[in-house]
Structure 1
């Protein structure tokens, strides 16, 4: 596999896309084509017409079939927005062909799958990066700064909710065989946010997953976590809700609340609320483009050998946490 095209500041990662998912259409491909250090070469789908629709908007060559895209000799990397249950299979195949991989969240359906993917990336000396876009937005760094500065005193608890309205019939996220269900789709956001704010040492002490017997997947869930020091996290998620995307940190002297935590558009100026006994303050933060930021980070990982934000330890730890939540969950119907 040849290196990224060009030299010096003109170098660009030649990327192909495996799958024509909605997240690619709405968020990631617009960011890719706007990034000068990445060049979209091809888009693959099992449906040739769908691949053409994507390339007519974003450029590149349409390819019928994922294997045919991997067999090309003009790529440095692939972006994989396929269903979660297909991430490991296609990421491993791409890595073994010498391609860097940007894969949609969550990285895998289990810690075992994540370990195979990371082992393959290490053996191939290729980058494997998970596309958890919210981590690249500056609003979370501001929350962490306020907590570290003691603005809410001793941290006591973290609460988070991420829910979306019911999905249309036949949606891929309803398919158990493709890694569907609310835990892997929306539940991973509150779990990852808890690790971001409370650290990696989290113990699931209880969970409930509500399973739809007709669909065969969980459609909602609640999780209780604790840290060794006794800080708790209460998480709720699902795709049978009115839209909600927020978290709060509650301490001995106050509370921080952040709305639009996970999917703020690039033009939005987030509002952070700091609540104390006799004072409520609202801070309007700078707008930030988390979609562009994650694409720039991937380009830097490939071209400049800058390690991705989340290394192997975090990726394995997050996958392990999902396993443990699933393992302790009480199932409701």
Structure 2
């Protein structure tokens, strides 16, 4: 079988730590090109992977040499580049948040449909073993009715992780559109929807800039969320957890409490009301600290969906629903009112 010809657009940290190495590891993929407006960076990455370098994504997509692309650019370019790619007859794996507005997210979904191409959003939290196990336990009734939850995603901020440090686009509102809530919070809205198996319908939020005086985007946000069946809980997203990353989720149910990625040794701890405690060692969640050593499974799932012509596990529609919660949180913070999603 002929290999899938893939290019990566945007050669920053997420491309270098995740997309490029994961495509390279994939036996069904031939990495053919990389693209970035920073000429020095794109040439360096291209020579490292032995592929062609482009500084214009239009030129790359017009070349007709690729079947699929990863879009790893600043947030404001996700939708425009994805739409051009889909309209060029190319499958798209897009980083999160998929877009900066409902309209642009819808345009991506439409373009995928119109051209019969795959669109997947890189929400890797769904593929973490502890998260999949929790979803299963909830689905088969082992936790009983869910009453509440709290989830957090925080680390010291992108300046320690982005290729451009403090000068990164992450801190510029016109390019990032949203800070910690878009970087981390959207992962957690997607995760909650996935684990609980229901939609979030109302949001109340404080979205603040308290820690990074060199940027103009949010770096600390706390939201109260309500699902369609009435489960209420909190979500915190922060770039101000300075000593250790927190990526934990706790689900409070009628028959048990699930602690996900909360205990340093056990990725899932189930505390039953009977007093029984079950600890699962399910492998570590990927973090920015592991130097990209682990597999996020995003690329592999995207490639499988193309090869087997199946629905991508995080479709444009799924990405849209997770983005909608974040947009409602922004609106809530601005208006000081609870917002419908």
Structure 2 length normalisation: TM-score?
Answer: 0.85
Higher strand share: 1
**Which 5+ residue runs of structure 1 have no aligned equivalent?**
1-9, 262-267
| Pairing 1:100–2:91 present | yes
| Pairing 1:204–2:202 present | yes
How many angstroms apart in 2 are the aligned matches of 1:331 and 1:29? 41
Which deviates more from structure 2 when the two are superposed, residues 312-321 or residues 171-180? 312-321
Q: Which of the numbers 253, 267, 271 marks the counterpart of 1:271? A: 267
| Pairing 1:172–2:198 present | no
* Inter-CA distance 60–20: structure 2 relative to 1 (3 Å threshold): same
Deviation at 1:106, TM superposition (A): 1.5
CA deviations over 1:105-147 (Å, ceiling 9, x no partner): 1211121111011111211221111111221233222112222
SS in structure 2 opposite 1:102? strand
Deviation at 1:328, TM superposition (A): 1.2
* Inter-CA distance 226–281: structure 2 relative to 1 (3 Å threshold): same
Which deviates more from structure 2 when the two are superposed, residues 278-287 or residues 315-324? 278-287
SS in structure 2 opposite 1:329? helix
1:38-187 matched pairs, under 5 angstroms: 38-168=29-159, 169-179=166-176, 180-187=178-185
* Inter-CA distance 147–302: structure 2 relative to 1 (3 Å threshold): closer
CA deviations over 1:205-247 (Å, ceiling 9, x no partner): 4110013576221111011111233211210011111311110
Q: Contact between 2:121 and 2:315, CA under 8 Å: does it hold in 1?
A: no
How many angstroms apart in 1 are the aligned matches of 2:307 and 2:193? 29
- RMSD of Structure 2 on Structure 1 (CA): 2.4
SS in structure 2 opposite 1:236? strand
How many angstroms apart in 2 are the aligned matches of 1:151 and 1:294? 28
How many angstroms apart in 2 are the aligned matches of 1:187 and 1:36? 33
User: How many residue pairs end up in the alignment?
Assistant: 317
Deviation at 1:89, TM superposition (A): 1.1
Which deviates more from structure 2 when the two are superposed, residues 315-324 or residues 239-248? 315-324
How many angstroms apart in 1 are the aligned matches of 2:283 and 2:128? 10
How many angstroms apart in 1 are the aligned matches of 2:277 and 2:266? 16
1:270-289 matched pairs, under 5 angstroms: 271-277=267-273, 278-285=275-282
Deviation at 1:331, TM superposition (A): 8.1
| Pairing 1:318–2:318 present | no
How many angstroms apart in 1 are the aligned matches of 2:312 and 2:96? 14
Deviation at 1:270, TM superposition (A): 5.4
Match of 1:215?
Answer: 215
How many angstroms apart in 1 are the aligned matches of 2:132 and 2:324? 25
* Inter-CA distance 153–214: structure 2 relative to 1 (3 Å threshold): same
Deviation at 1:329, TM superposition (A): 1.7
Which deviates more from structure 2 when the two are superposed, residues 129-138 or residues 268-277? 268-277
Deviation at 1:286, TM superposition (A): 5.3
Q: Contact between 1:15 and 1:76, CA under 8 Å: does it hold in 2?
A: yes
| Pairing 1:297–2:319 present | no
1:7-18 matched pairs, under 5 angstroms: 10-18=1-9
Q: Contact between 2:181 and 2:218, CA under 8 Å: does it hold in 1?
A: yes
